[in-house]
Structure 1
């Protein structure tokens, strides 16, 4: 048995009143409803509200007047008001000296009520590329072309969709790349940012939300504000932690500043996640860690104190996420290993020299920033007036599902860290629809690598070939569900057999239906769709197959001259 006391709750100003969400309590994420304490000060009223949830408002003290869609009802202590989904309401407290205290319990209805408004929104995420270098074709064959095709297909099905990407400005890989080249870090970041945006534009890869943290002061202040409000509300605790430190270089070892081997599979990795098995390791977990700046092993320990995400506190919520979301086998195996080993506590800030400054000389961890950035940027897209944490969480209630396109090396963040943040914020576990995860795209048998300059750069390939041909080949050759290998000879041989201008072949009704099904989020198989549409020897005349091919190529009409 547990008890919850309104007297001890942390309250925050929101919607013209004071509220204390139950997400501040441990272990309540698994409840089939959400709840909050509400206090309406004397002689005041709540801001007008209208939400998709059904709400049961139990008046505990005082006397309130509910104005519901223009109809007023006076309610005394001991009475409950059931608000249906979509009903616009304001709660008034006319008393001059007594607050109204309400327990609000709310949940999503099983089916949307008739006339409830717009259908739920699908949010599609692709990880923001780090501007430590330009984009290579491995990046494009992984998440970026695929996410763009999926968004086009979703909109063709009539689904409201928000596509989200940006630039991962605050990874210290930017600093490491600048140091290796003898360049100024901000100058290098700005140069690569322009090159990345240019490639997206040339390939017709568009985003409804595209964040560039370094160039957007409002974004930077917003993510810090949302972090502070999450801590104040008790959603993210503050704890002490220890990480290895390099005394000669004078810095904490994390992300690009440390290298070692994965304690799980033995693969080489930096701090963060392993490209081999997807496991998460801070610098303290690595086998034989060393500082990448001077090459020496850690020479000390850095004691820190800051907000953390204790994932073990949200185990039940995460289990619900993983049971219902569409996850590929390798991600499920990663999750199983995490459950066996124990869910980690993830520091959300570090004492370091790159990133968004927060309190006590720390800077936001770039992945924590990304989670907060998604909350902010999508929330603002859905409600341009959103400012506070509660405003953004309310805006996110209109999101029906979230799909992320990524490589295995980012799977921990999208399958574990971000859902853990959603749990802390009280968002529903059904939010994550699933992950579409690609394998590695190799070049002449070896992994593409920006740091080793082993790559075919996207801008170079686009200088030789039309964008629609490049897109179509990267769809056809996408590394799913197995790794594939790019060679110039193969690119020229495959694309040379296609009709000019590029158009769909003579496709049977069954192959067209198969291609269409392959572009659904829960069965996404882009290479299969491309081979259905481009596999025939003779050119076709468009039709449904031609419409599907335009989603792959980015060309708005079949047969338009390039």
Structure 2
């Protein structure tokens, strides 16, 4: 975006047709935020407006010319008392468009990666791992590759009464259930190759957390947005008590589906129990009455919501755009007016008499503590499932914003869709699941990660199928074994140090393809398109296999053979770099054979190494054992 007092030069020299349109924005109105592939400029004729573009806010007046590059998101709002009038001019600049495509992604230098906290009321299943935990770990490993400083954060802290319900059902104490569930969660994450810089336990004892909690409560209580409301709350006449969160169910006011009083799994809306349609007790099925009670709330202000909507839109990928699309749906239906601050739950952080922080406010406390541990963050990604979309992807940044957290540190929701099992959602309660610890004890985590990455979609639910896992894994492992066995065979025809010599055009094309594949894989993984990366990896494996087979005709020509061997070893290195975020163990084994590691990605990603004495026998043996034992 550029603002000047003259027509942009790129339009002065344009000879083809330029499209034009006059627009009038009445007072207090605004345009829909959007981006497009056209090059565009506006000429302001009269009035005053406020332009929002790529998280920048600029005042516009008569005589201003504003130029937008392709894909720059923008919207303008009329905050004055007169019409804001401007003319839009646009055309497609294909050369500029291609230049945008060719630019390398610009990465934030200090990234906070926060993952939704698992509830310690039972073990994790593959549906859990397939979403936020895998996607955020891939993001973290991409940061390791490209040299971006990051801070990964997760934990089990949080007092949802899911835990109470499960403890009562299993006839164990709350503390006992949490303890054994935490151990099972730690083990599953470790087996899945997922770890964090900081993990906040369910019973935190650190002085740092106590300080964060006190600061959070002080900021909350001092906030002018905090209000007290009398509301009609679900109440059980049988037990003579208010019923909240997971103990109450009813119709969702957004979609009408039956949901518990936390979040709707169908539409993602964060629930205020007081707004449920025909509430009933989720355990006893008793129809509940409504009884007045005072609670604390935060009122959602339109101006703040609008700014957050712009920020959501500017996070230009499918897994973040879903927050923007659904936020508008909730607002249009009037279901996001107040955020519940206090809850009538029995356990938690006291905030209002005997009332404790609500679920979404505890999430805000957790994020606040994470930010306090990593104050250098200039971007904050929050990975969670579709059912957490409203609370974590929308309300969480709103809460932190009104508490004074800078825009650059507000969490950006990365929302994954559900992973289904036999076309039905994984369900702990219904025991419709494949339990992570049991499965990972007999299946290599790398192959499970590869398959879950393959079925992952940024826009639709995925479906886990054991037969598909075995088919993909078998194809992948067989290709790996083949390319390394062929190296050992081809290398017997060459003696001495392997260093690239004369190149043929086919060698140049192969080299370009390897570099293109690395860029493609990392770019797609950073954009949460892991399936495209897995497909490219399979294609790359086949390309390497074909290149090796073609190289057989040069086995008696030492000069050409050394170039081929050098490029094949470089292909292994490229493959390992592409694989690292997906299959870290296999990737590390390949790099070990090549006497390098991921720390050399930046310095070696385009360099063809000089090599001597490569031997993949041990790696082939390990891969063959996997194929024999598992596949």
Write the deviation string for residues 311-369 of structure 1: whole angstroms up to 9, x where unpaired: 55733432343343346353332111122133321121212212233441122213211
1:335 partnered with 2:313: no
Which ranges of structure 1 fall in alignment gaps of 5 or more residues? 1-29, 34-118, 383-394
2:311 to 305, 321, 324: 321
1:124 corresponds to 2:102: no
Query: Which residue number corresponds to residue 533 of structure 1?
Result: 537
Alignment-derived partner of residue 452 in structure 1: 430
Equivalent runs, 1:404-419 vs 2, <5 Å: 404-419=382-397
Task: Indicate if the aligned counterparts of 1:151 and 1:161 stay in contact, CA closer than 8 A.
Answer: yes
The answer as to 2:442 corresponding to 1:464 is yes
Could you tell me whether the CA contact under 8 Å between 1:350 and 1:364 is conserved in 2? yes
Q: Given the superposition, is the C-alpha separation of residues 266 and 446 from structure 1 closer, same or farther in structure 2, using an over 3 Å criterion?
A: same
Q: Distance in 2 between matches of 1:503 and 1:287?
A: 58
Tell me the CA shift for residue 182 of structure 1. Answer: 2.5
Distance (Å, rounded) in 2 between the aligned partners of 1:504 and 1:150: 30
Partner in structure 1 of residue 580 of structure 2 = 550
Task: Return the TM-score normalized by structure 2.
Answer: 0.63
Relative to structure 1, is the Cα distance of residues 495 and 31 closer, same or farther in structure 2, using a 3 angstrom cutoff? closer
Change (3 A) 1:505 1:414: farther
The change in CA–CA distance for 1:377 and 1:256 in structure 2 (over 3 A counts) is same
Mapped contact 2:245–2:345 kept (Cα < 8 A): no
Tell me by how many angstroms 1:31 deviates.
11
Quick check: 1:504–1:533 contact (8 Å CA) kept in 2?
no
Contact kept? 1:141, 1:477, Cα under 8 Å = no
For residues 59-138 of structure 1, the aligned pairs below 5 Å read: 120-138=109-127
Out of 369, 381, 385, the residue aligned to residue 362 of structure 2 is 369
Looking at structure 2, the residues matched to 504 and 400 of structure 1 have their Cα atoms a distance apart, in angstroms, of 44
Query: Could you state the TM-score of these two structures normalised by the residue count of structure 1?
Result: 0.70
Unaligned runs of 5+ in 2: 1-54, 59-107, 485-509, 546-567, 591-618, 624-631
Please give the per-residue CA displacement for 1:463-488, whole angstroms capped at 9, x wherever unaligned: 21112222222112224332121122
Task: Quote the offset at 1:282 in angstroms.
Answer: 1.3
- Which position in structure 2 is the counterpart of 1:282? 272
Give the secondary-structure state (helix, strand or coil) at the position aligned to 1:485: strand
Shift of 1:442: 0.6
Once residues 491 and 353 of structure 1 are traced to their aligned partners in structure 2, the CA distance between those partners, rounded to angstroms, is 43
Trace 1:76-475 onto structure 2 (pairs within 5 A).
Answer: 120-216=109-205, 218=207, 221-242=210-231, 243-306=233-296, 308=298, 310-312=300-302, 314-326=304-316, 328=318, 329-342=321-334, 343-379=336-372, 381-382=373-374, 395=375, 398-432=376-410, 434-475=412-453
Residues 262, 359 of structure 2: 8 Å contact kept = no
Closer/same/farther in 2, CA of residues 454 and 259 from structure 1, 3 Å limit? same
Report the Cα offset of residue 133 of structure 1: 1.6
- The answer (yes or no) to whether the contact 2:458–2:528 under 8 Å persists in 1 is no
Shift of 1:421: 1.5
Shift in CA distance, 467/252, structure 1 to aligned 2, threshold 3 Å: same
What is the Cα deviation at residue 172 of structure 1?
1.0
Query: What's the offset of the Cα at 1:130?
Result: 0.8
Q: 1:229 and 1:286 mapped to 2: Cα distance?
A: 31
Query: In the aligned structure 2, how far is the partner of 1:408 from the partner of 1:184?
Result: 31
Q: Secondary structure at the match of 1:499?
A: helix
Contact 1:168 1:366 in 2 (8 A): no
Partner of 1:106: none
After TM superposition, give the deviation of residue 444 of structure 1 in Å.
0.8
From 515, 521, 525, give the equivalent of 2:521.
515
Partners of 1:433 and 1:359 in 2: how far apart? 26
Deviation at 1:512, TM superposition (A): 3.1
Relative distance call for 1:193 and 1:273 in structure 2 (3 A) is: same
SS in 2 for 1:415: helix
Q: What secondary structure, in the 3-state scheme, does the structure 1 residue paired with 2:582 have?
A: helix
- The 8 Å contact of residues 123 and 185 in structure 2, kept in 1 or not, is answered as yes
Measure, in 2, the Cα distance between the counterparts of 1:412 and 1:287: 19
Q: Return the alpha-carbon distance in structure 2 between the equivalents of residues 236 and 208 of structure 1.
A: 33
**Are residues 248 and 498 of structure 1, via their aligned partners in 2, closer, same or farther at CA, if it must alter by over 3 Å?**
same
Distance 1:500 1:262, change over 3 A: same
Q: How far apart are 1:454 and its partner, in Å? A: 0.5
1:71-109 alpha-carbon deviations (Å, 9 max, x no partner): xxxxxxxxxxxxxxxxxxxxxxxxxxxxxxxxxxxxxxx
* Structure-2 separation of matches of 1:274 and 1:315: 21
Q: Tell me how far 1:238 sits from its aligned partner.
A: 3.6
Answer 1 or 2: which has greater helix percent.
2
**Count of residue correspondences:** 432
Q: Is the 8 A contact 1:262 1:268 kept in 2?
A: yes
- How far has the Cα of 1:501 moved from its partner? 9.6
**Does the Cα contact within 8 Å between 1:177 and 1:451 map onto a contact in 2?**
no
* Structure 2 CA distance for partners of 1:305 and 1:433, relative to 1, 3 Å: closer
- Which shifted more, 220-229 or 171-180? 220-229
2-side partners of 1:459 and 1:250: how far apart? 41
Inter-partner Cα distance in structure 2 for 1:264 and 1:219: 39
